């Protein structure tokens, strides 16, 4: 005989299987409708739990099929209660449950709008006003087919789909195709990388001008940023030629780090491309954006305010908005962004659809690009547009994709790695889910220093700590013998240390455990201390010491720090050149901006960052990425996570795997596992 559901849910919270906030959703329902069936309370609690796992809804059928796996209960990090007896698992509780019964009891509940039953489904409206509302007028849950949503997530998903559908079928901009062709021909050299392949960057530009929504997706170094700069030049030149004022362009990225990277990359590309047009269009440089904002700043998200500054009633003043690293945008932020754009503002999303999705619920870019795999999804109309504007005749697909697919360009050739490079080959094998090929590439890597390396390690992680000491000593030695200069010269010294620090980064799949960030940070710290690379005293103050890299874990607008920022604890001399004190240095947005030297005791929550989780490293790039695998199979290790770890590497990637697993079965298991986020955005956009 099992304990009542309410007791079980309490036990799951106590065991760390579920968040307190999820259980609170159940209590809230119990308080509002005391007569609610326990299976409804359970579904509500699980829907909230799933949101914590990145899902916008609970897929009832999938849940009944395999409750423990779908709900990830018990989790890897779960703790045993004091009596040592683990709680009853969801699979035991739900044994024998029938989907039809669960759906029926949910459809009957006052807290649920059942769409199939309800002739008047909730109107989509403004996603901002769709918070969980009080019964009975606006039930907080929506049952759509077999998917149970918190109402706000359902509303956001519908709103995104509606916006995307409207934008991809909007009337084509009134353009003189001859002008478009002329400008594109000037921007793109006729010599493409592979003469047998069309120039996909050029096609991406042509598609981006056709409708007010487009996506440019591709792996690292495939030229997404290069393409965007050309696209912006194209748009401004066309505006000049049509006698229009310059277009208002806004560039954005989901995190500060990604925004800073895009800014640097864009500026470098502008410097290369602009001279071609300087004579004909001397004012062109002034029309290009100088800054890249975070998405929050772009739309004006304000703390404790229900809606951002820009929304459906106060559009963002912009003609073109380009957003990089779009895979990191969760559903809520995407819904808010789309709502903030006027119907004729062009939105261009850039991103690598194969990367990890946002930590927030939803996998918007992944869902929108679900069919971007098809090499040629274009219909006859798109093919004709490409022929007229690019001068390339592509075959029309026998079974063309939806309108959305006509707005997506996939860049496949990596100019950074080349098709036969080890990193490129490994990335392809991982993305294809080909565990054997992945293993082959890694096991073929033998000598140290190659682009791909495999480091079989013992339980004490001797190999990893040796590697860390060797790689990190390049900058840590310089930290321990600080120069006597002050002011700008001291900033230059810190910048050089940052550049050296960016050369090697250890990444972990997990947070906890020996192979997690917490364990690896401790091991590396101890090894560096033993090697004399960290100070024993002097430049040490409690947990703070010269050479400690830190990761900011909370937004702190007052200090201009964002969750995910990396700082280095360094000795700092004031302008009078007194004895150095410890300060945490943060680089500015561009290479010449002054370093910000903050007192460590003023910093908000932060943690040591010799090792980072792959999630936290998203949007960053390092010369050498060292990826530590878990020692046992783990559901967190997925294809997307492994690919994201690999693609943080600019020149070199080393996989650290347990020497007890010489066949790399743990890695192979991860490569085969895909992140499947519940939701129906893909289907809604394909309609
Ligand atoms: N068509 C091209 N021909 C030659 N080199 C190119 C071409 N396109 C891009 N490159 C070069 O390849 C490198 C990577 O390009 P870019 O930064 O635009 O790629 P990306 O996809 O934005 O990369 P990331 O994934 O790092 O954001 C740059 O050095 C760029 O100059």
- Is any atom of ligand 1 closer than 6 Å to the C-beta of 225? yes
For residues 208 and 380, give the distance between their C-alpha atoms in angstroms, rounded to a whole number: 17
pLDDT at 117: 54
Q: Which of 366, 388, 415 is the last residue of a domain?
A: 415
Q: What is the CATH number of the domain that holds 112?
A: 1.10.10.1020
- Same domain for 408 and 502? no
Cβ-proximal residues to 613 (8 Å cutoff; 6+ apart), any chain: 507, 508, 509, 510, 511, 517
For residues 231 and 187, give the distance between their C-alpha atoms in angstroms, rounded to a whole number: 9
Q: What is the CATH number of the domain that holds 459?
A: 3.40.50.300
- Any idea what the Cα angle at residue 217 is, between residues 566 and 221, rounded to 5°? 60
Please check whether residue 225 lies inside any domain of the structure: yes
Please check whether residue 274 lies inside any domain of the structure: no
Q: Is the link from the previous residue into 364 a cis peptide, with omega within 30 of 0?
A: no
C-alpha to C-alpha distances, 449 to 465, 467, 655, 656, 664, nearest whole angstrom: 16, 11, 12, 14, 20
Please check whether residue 187 lies inside any domain of the structure: yes
3-class DSSP assignment, residue 62 = helix
- Same domain for 196 and 108? no
Structure token pair of residue 370? 């679900």
- Same domain for 486 and 391? no
C-alpha to C-alpha distances, 617 to 258, 342, 611, 646, 682, nearest whole angstrom: 10, 33, 10, 11, 27
10-residue mean pLDDT profile of the chain (687 residues): values are 86 91 93 89 95 94 91 72 78 93 94 73 53 59 94 95 95 82 90 74 96 94 92 95 94 89 88 88 91 93 88 97 95 96 96 90 93 80 95 88 93 84 92 94 78 90 95 93 86 94 96 93 93 78 88 86 91 87 88 90 90 92 95 91 96 95 94 89 87
- Same domain for 229 and 339? yes
pLDDT at 407: 95
- Same domain for 408 and 492? no
- Same domain for 231 and 375? yes
- Is any atom of ligand 1 closer than 6 Å to the C-beta of 602? no
Q: Residue 484 gets which letter from DSSP?
A: S
- The range of the structural domain enclosing residue 386 comes to 176-236+245-264+287-415
For residues 128 and 122, give the distance between their C-alpha atoms in angstroms, rounded to a whole number: 14
- Same domain for 143 and 181? no
pLDDT at 255: 86
pLDDT at 619: 84
Q: Which residues are annotated as a binding site for ATP?
A: 218-225
- Taking the CA of residue 229 as reference, the ligand 1 atom at the shortest distance is 18
Q: Are 671 and 633 in contact (CB under 8 A)?
A: no
- Same domain for 348 and 483? no
- Same domain for 110 and 232? no
Ligand 1 centroid to residue 276 C-alpha, Å: 18
Ligand 1 centroid to residue 415 C-alpha, Å: 6
- Same domain for 463 and 561? yes
3-class DSSP assignment, residue 202 = helix
For residues 442 and 627, give the distance between their C-alpha atoms in angstroms, rounded to a whole number: 12
pLDDT at 319: 96
Query: Probe ligand 1: pick from 194, 197, 221, max atoms within 8 Å of CB?
Result: 221
Quote the radius of gyration of the chain (alpha carbons, Å): 26
275-296: burial string, b at 16+ Cβ within 10 Å, e else: eebeeebeebeebbbeebbbbb
Q: Count CA atoms closer than 13 A to 565's CA, side-chain side.
A: 26
Ligand 1 centroid to residue 500 C-alpha, Å: 23
pLDDT at 81: 62
Please check whether residue 309 lies inside any domain of the structure: yes
- Is any atom of ligand 1 closer than 6 Å to the C-beta of 351? no
Burial of 178 (C-beta count, 10 Å sphere; 0-12/13-18/19+): exposed
Please check whether residue 377 lies inside any domain of the structure: yes
- Is any atom of ligand 1 closer than 6 Å to the C-beta of 619? no
Q: 323 - beta bridge partners?
A: 252, 349
Domain count across the chain: 3
- Same domain for 470 and 616? yes
- Any idea what the Cα angle at residue 548 is, between residues 543 and 549, rounded to 5°? 125
pLDDT at 132: 44
Please check whether residue 539 lies inside any domain of the structure: no
Please check whether residue 75 lies inside any domain of the structure: yes
- Is any atom of ligand 1 closer than 6 Å to the C-beta of 644? no
- Same domain for 353 and 402? yes
C-alpha to C-alpha distances, 60 to 156, 158, 578, nearest whole angstrom: 20, 19, 65
Please check whether residue 275 lies inside any domain of the structure: no
For residues 626 and 653, give the distance between their C-alpha atoms in angstroms, rounded to a whole number: 6
- Is any atom of ligand 1 closer than 6 Å to the C-beta of 224? yes
Neighbours of 608 (CB within 10 A): 18
């Amino acid at each position: 005989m099992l304990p009542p559901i309410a007791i079980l849910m309490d036990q799951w919270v106590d065991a760390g299987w579920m968040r307190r906030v999820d259980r609170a959703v159940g209590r809230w329902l119990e308080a509002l409708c005391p007569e609610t069936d326990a299976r409804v309370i359970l579904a509500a609690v699980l829907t909230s739990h799933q949101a914590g796992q990145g899902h916008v809804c609970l897929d009832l059928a999938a849940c009944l099929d395999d409750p423990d796996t779908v709900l990830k209960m018990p989790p890897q990090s779960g703790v045993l209660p004091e009596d040592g007896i683990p709680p009853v698992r969801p699979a035991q509780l739900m044994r024998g449950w029938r989907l039809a019964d669960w759906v029926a009891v949910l459809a009957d509940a006052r807290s649920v709008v059942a769409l199939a039953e309800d002739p008047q489904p909730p109107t989509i409206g403004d996603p901002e006003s769709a918070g969980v509302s009080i019964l009975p007028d606006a039930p907080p849950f929506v049952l759509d087919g077999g998917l149970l949503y918190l109402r706000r997530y359902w509303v956001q998903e519908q709103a995104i789909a509606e916006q995307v559908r409207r934008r991809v079928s909007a009337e084509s901009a009134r353009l003189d195709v001859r002008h478009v062709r002329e400008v594109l021909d000037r921007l793109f050299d006729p010599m493409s990388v592979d003469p047998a392949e069309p120039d996909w960057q050029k096609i991406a530009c042509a598609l981006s001008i056709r409708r007010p929504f487009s996506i440019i997706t591709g792996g690292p170094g495939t030229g997404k940023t290069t393409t965007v700069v050309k696209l912006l030049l194209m748009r401004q030149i066309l505006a000049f030629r049509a006698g229009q004022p310059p277009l208002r362009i806004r560039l954005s990225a989901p995190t500060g780090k990604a925004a800073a990277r895009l800014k640097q990359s864009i500026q470098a590309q502008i410097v290369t491309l602009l001279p071609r047009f300087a004579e004909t269009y001397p004012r062109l440089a002034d029309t290009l954006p100088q800054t890249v904002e975070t998405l929050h700043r772009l739309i004006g998200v304000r703390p404790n305010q229900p809606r951002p500054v820009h929304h459906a009633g106060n559009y963002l003043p912009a003609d073109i908005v380009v957003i990089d690293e779009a895979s990191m945008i969760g559903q809520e932020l995407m819904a808010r962004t789309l709502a903030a754009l006027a119907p004729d503002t062009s939105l261009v999303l850039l991103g690598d659809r194969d990367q990890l999705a946002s930590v927030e619920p939803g996998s918007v870019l992944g869902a929108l690009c679900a069919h971007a795999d098809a090499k040629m999804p274009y219909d006859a109309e798109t093919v004709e547009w490409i022929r007229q504007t690019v001068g390339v005749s592509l075959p029309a697909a026998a079974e063309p994709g939806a309108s959305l697919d006509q707005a997506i360009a996939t860049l496949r050739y990596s100019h950074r790695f080349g098709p036969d490079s080890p990193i490129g080959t490994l990335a392809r094998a991982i993305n294809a889910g080909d565990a054997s090929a992945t293993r082959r590439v890694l096991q073929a890597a033998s000598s140290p220093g190659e682009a791909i390396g495999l480091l079989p390690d013992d339980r004490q992680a001797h190999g990893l700590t040796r590697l860390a000491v060797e790689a990190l000593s390049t900058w840590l030695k310089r930290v321990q013998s600080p120069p006597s200069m002050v002011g700008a010269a001291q900033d230059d010294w810190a910048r050089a240390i940052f550049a050296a620090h960016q050369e090697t980064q250890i990444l972990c799949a997990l947070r906890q455990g020996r192979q997690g960030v917490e364990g690896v940070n401790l091991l590396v710290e101890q090894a560096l201390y033993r090697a004399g690379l960290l100070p024993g005293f002097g430049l040490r103050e409690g947990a703070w010491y010269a050479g400690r890299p830190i990761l900011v874990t909370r937004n702190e607008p007052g200090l201009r720090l964002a969750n995910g920022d990396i700082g280095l604890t360094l000795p700092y001399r004031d302008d009078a050149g007194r004895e150095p004190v410890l300060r945490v240095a943060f680089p500015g947005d561009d290479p010449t901006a002054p370093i910000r030297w903050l007192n460590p005791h003023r910093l908000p929550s932060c943690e040591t960052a010799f090792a980072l989780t792959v999630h936290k490293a998203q949007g960053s790039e390092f010369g050498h990425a060292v990826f530590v695998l878990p020692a046992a199979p783990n559901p967190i290790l997925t294809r997307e996570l492994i690919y994201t770890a690999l693609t943080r590497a600019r020149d070199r990637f080393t996989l650290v795997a347990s020497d007890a697993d010489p066949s790399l079965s743990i890695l192979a298991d991860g490569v085969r596992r895909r992140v499947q986020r519940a939701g129906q955005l893909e289907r809604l956009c394909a309609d």
